C-alpha cells in the first residue's frame, strides 16, 4: 500500500492532489481484506481516472483496479460468452475481440478506461453502447463484503447512466468482472454514424470488416479529441441534454441550424451540448490553466497546473451561461471526487 501518494498520474485531467493511501488491487480477495481491515476509512474505486475530477486531496484509500484476466465461458457458431476482469484496459479488450473476429464493441474502440468501469456510465460512441453486449455485472458490496451479481436489466442502463452511477451506489459496489456476449456468424457491422461511413468511403472500403470499423473510429477519435497524455481532459465534460420537442421547436426558431438527434421517446430530442457551448462563444476560452478545448467545446482541459476547483469553476460558468441563453440545464458527465476530513 502506498502512503500520501500523488494522484496526478492516476487521473487523465492530471490534477495534482494526494491520497492518504493507495492500494493496487490484483484480486477480489484483496478487496475483501481491505474492506475488513479498513472499514471506517472512506474508499474510492479508481480505474484509469479518465472520468473523474478531483476537487481536494482524498482523505481515505484509493482502490486502483488492476484485476486482470479474460476467460471464454461458452462459444457457439453464432456467439461467444466471455468474462473479463475489471482491471483489463477497455481498448485492449476491444482489439482482442476485433482480432478474434468477435463483433459488437468495434465502434467503442479507443475509449479510455478499464473494463470494470464501462458499465458505470454505459460507455457509448459512434452509434453503440456497451449495454448492447453486457450480459451481467459481478460486484462486491463494499458495505457487507457479499458478492452481488447484476443482470443486464438490474443494471438500469440508460444514456451515460446505470444504477452504479446513482449517488447512493457510488463506491458501494466494486465491479470486479463483466460478462459479455459478442457476435460471430451473421453479425452486421454498424456504420450508420455518418463520420464512420465518410472514412470508409475515403478509403474505398465497400464491405467493412470489424477491423475496418475499429480503425475508422480510431481515425475519427484521434482527429477530434485531445490526447490526455498531451493535454489533461476527461472527454465530454457534460452529457448531451434531452429537451421537450415543444421547447426544441422554439429553439429552432432562433437557431435554425441547431443539430439534434431523435430519441426513443418521440416527445424528446437530444441536443449536442458541444454545439450549445460553442455557439455561446466558449470554444477556446482559457482562464489560467483551465480551458475549453479549441476544437471540441464539450471537452474542458487542464493546460498544466489547473486545480480541480479551477476546472469546476469554469464548468459552473458554462452551466450558468447555457441556462441563461437557452434555458437548458447541463449535467456533468464527469464524476466529481470531493472527500475531505470536513465532508466525510
List the catalytic residue out of 160, 162, 179, 215. 160
Backbone angles phi, psi at 335, to 5 degrees: -90, 120
Bridge partners of 128, per DSSP, are 125
How far lies 227's CA from each of 176, 223, 224, in Å?
A: 27, 10, 9
Where in 58-97 is the site for ligand FAD (CB under 6 A)?
A: 65, 86
126 binds ligand EPU (CB under 6 A): yes
191 binds ligand FAD (CB under 6 A): no
Could you confirm whether 305 is annotated as catalytic? no
Residue 262 burial (C-beta neighbours within 10 Å; 0-12, 13-18, 19+):
exposed
Shortest spacing between CB 277 and ligand EPU, in angstroms: 7
State the Cα–Cα distance between residues 20 and 59, nearest whole angstrom.
6
Q: Which three cell numbers stand for residue 318?
A: 458554462
Span near ligand EPU by CB under 6 A; candidates 129-137, 199-207, 208-216, 294-302: 294-302
Q: Select 60 or 235, whichever has its Cβ closest to ligand EPU.
A: 235
Shortest spacing between CB 308 and ligand FAD, in angstroms: 13
Span near ligand FAD by CB under 6 A; candidates 72-80, 114-122, 183-191, 322-330: 114-122
CB-based contact 243:328 (threshold 8 Å):
yes
Q: State which of residues 14, 60, 104, 112 lies at the interface with ligand FAD (CB under 6 A).
A: 112
296 binds ligand FAD (CB under 6 A): no
DSSP state of 104: S
Shortest spacing between CB 64 and ligand EPU, in angstroms: 21
Where in 196-225 is the site for ligand EPU (CB under 6 A)?
A: 224
Q: Which residue has the cell 472500403?
A: 205
Angle between helix 90-99 and helix 210-224 axes, rounded to 10 deg: 150
Shortest spacing between CB 298 and ligand EPU, in angstroms: 4
Shortest spacing between CB 18 and ligand EPU, in angstroms: 26
Sign of the alpha-carbon dihedral angle for 341, 342, 343, 344: positive
Residues contacting ligand EPU: total by CB under 6 A: 17
85 binds ligand EPU (CB under 6 A): no
235 binds ligand FAD (CB under 6 A): yes
**Three-state DSSP state, 6:** strand
Could you confirm whether 136 is annotated as catalytic? no
Q: Select 269 or 301, whichever has its Cβ closest to ligand FAD.
A: 301
Where in 224-283 is the site for ligand EPU (CB under 6 A)?
A: 224, 235-236, 239-240, 259, 272, 274-275, 278, 283
Residue 11 burial (C-beta neighbours within 10 Å; 0-12, 13-18, 19+):
buried
Nearest Cα neighbor of 176 from 26, 7, 40 is 26
CB-based contact 23:34 (threshold 8 Å):
yes
Could you confirm whether 50 is annotated as catalytic? no
Q: Which three cell numbers stand for residue 85?
A: 476482469
Q: Which residue has the cell 460512441?
A: 125
Sign of the alpha-carbon dihedral angle for 213, 217, 220, 222: negative
Q: Name the binder of 302 from ligand EPU, ligand FAD, none, CB < 5-8 A by kind.
A: none
Q: Select 107 or 139, whichever has its Cβ closest to ligand EPU.
A: 107
Task: Provide the mask over 25-44, with x wherever binding to ligand EPU is found by CB under 6 A and - wherever it is not.
Answer: --------------------
- Say if strands 52-54 and 335-337 run parallel, antiparallel, or are unpaired: parallel
Q: Select 51 or 56, whichever has its Cβ closest to ligand FAD.
A: 51
- Residues identified as active-site: 160, 236, 333
List interacting residues with ligand EPU (CB under 6 A). 125-126, 224, 235-236, 239-240, 259, 272, 274-275, 278, 283, 296-298, 333
Amino acid at each position: 500500500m502506498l502512503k500520501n501518494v500523488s494522484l496526478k498520474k492516476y487521473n487523465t485531467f492530471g490534477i495534482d492532489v494526494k491520497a492518504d493511501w493507495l492500494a493496487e488491487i490484483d484480486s477480489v480477495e484483496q478487496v475483501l481484506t481491505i474492506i475488513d481491515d479498513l472499514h471506517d476509512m472512506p474508499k474510492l474505486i479508481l480505474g484509469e481516472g479518465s472520468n473523474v475530477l478531483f476537487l481536494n486531496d482524498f482523505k481515505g484509500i484509493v482502490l486502483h483496479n488492476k484485476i486482470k484476466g479474460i476467460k471464454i465461458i461458452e462459444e457457439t457458431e453464432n456467439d461467444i460468452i466471455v468474462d473479463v476482469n475489471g482491471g483489463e484496459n477497455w481498448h485492449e479488450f476491444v482489439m482482442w475481440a476485433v482480432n478474434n473476429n468477435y463483433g459488437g464493441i468495434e465502434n467503442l474502440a479507443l475509449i479510455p478506461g478499464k473494463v470494470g468501469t464501462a458499465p458505470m456510465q454505459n460507455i457509448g460512441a459512434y452509434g453503440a453502447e456497451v449495454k448492447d453486449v453486457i450480459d451481467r455485472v459481478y460486484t462486491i458490496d463494499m458495505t457487507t463484503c457479499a458478492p452481488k451479481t447484476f443482470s443486464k436489466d438490474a443494471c438500469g442502463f440508460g444514456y451515460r447512466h446505470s444504477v452504479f452511477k446513482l449517488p447512493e451506489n457510488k463506491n458501494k459496489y466494486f465491479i470486479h468482472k463483466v460478462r459479455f456476449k459478442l457476435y460471430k456468424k451473421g453479425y452486421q457491422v454498424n456504420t450508420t454514424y455518418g463520420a464512420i461511413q465518410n472514412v470508409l468511403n475515403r478509403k474505398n472500403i465497400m464491405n467493412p470488416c470489424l477491423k475496418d470499423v475499429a480503425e475508422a473510429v480510431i481515425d475519427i477519435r484521434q482527429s477530434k479529441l485531445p490526447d490526455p497524455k498531451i493535454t489533461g481532459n476527461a472527454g465530454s465534460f457534460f452529457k448531451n441534454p434531452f429537451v421537450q420537442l415543444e421547447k426544441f421547436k422554439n429553439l429552432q426558431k432562433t437557431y435554425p441550424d441547431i443539430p439534434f438527434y431523435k430519441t426513443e421517446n418521440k416527445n424528446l430530442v437530444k441536443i449536442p451540448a458541444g454545439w450549445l457551448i460553442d455557439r455561446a462563444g466558449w470554444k477556446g476560452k482559457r482562464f489560467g490553466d483551465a480551458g475549453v478545448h479549441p476544437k471540441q467545446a464539450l471537452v474542458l482541459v487542464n493546460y498544466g497546473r489547473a486545480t480541480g476547483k479551477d476546472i469546476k469553476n469554469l464548468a459552473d460558468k458554462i452551466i450558468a451561461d447555457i441556462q441563461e441563453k437557452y434555458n437548458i440545464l447541463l449535467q456533468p458527465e464527469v464524476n466529481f471526487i470531493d472527500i475531505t476530513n470536513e465532508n466525510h
